[in-house]
């Protein structure tokens, strides 16, 4: 069994009780989820270096995050209000 990608971000989503879909293609992870009626994504890529394209900072606008992208995206998600269950 091969390891999953974007595990830190998946843990942040689990902690916030936000359901998500995980897919993997060509060794890159992909997360799609809804939060407060908006659709979000975190799509991993590897060009010259690893990174993600995501809209977690602005739902209507994607941007690329490189470097410690899992830490950056996880911190943003963990800053969101908790889901009411």
Range of the domain at 38: 7-78
In a domain, 15, yes or no: yes
What percentage of the chain exceeds 70 in pLDDT? 93
What's the structural domain count of the chain? 1
pLDDT at 47: 87
Task: In whole angstroms, give the CA distance from residue 40 to residue 20.
Answer: 10
User: Can you tell me the mean pLDDT for 16-37?
Assistant: 95
Confidence (pTM): 0.91
In a domain, 85, yes or no: no
pLDDT at 84: 67
What percentage of the chain exceeds 90 in pLDDT? 86
In a domain, 45, yes or no: yes
Task: In whole angstroms, give the CA distance from residue 39 to residue 13.
Answer: 14
In a domain, 43, yes or no: yes
In a domain, 73, yes or no: yes
pLDDT tens digits, residue range 38-56?
999 999 999 889 999 999 9
């Amino acid at each position: 069994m091969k390891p999953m990608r974007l595990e830190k971000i998946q843990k942040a989503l689990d902690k916030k009780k936000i359901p998500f879909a995980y897919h993997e293609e060509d060794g890159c992870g992909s997360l799609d989820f809804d939060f407060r009626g908006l659709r979000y994504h975190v799509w991993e890529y590897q060009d010259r270096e690893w990174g993600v394209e995501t809209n977690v900072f602005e739902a209507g606008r994607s941007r690329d995050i490189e470097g410690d992208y899992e830490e950056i995206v996880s911190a943003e998600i963990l800053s969101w209000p908790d889901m009411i269950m």
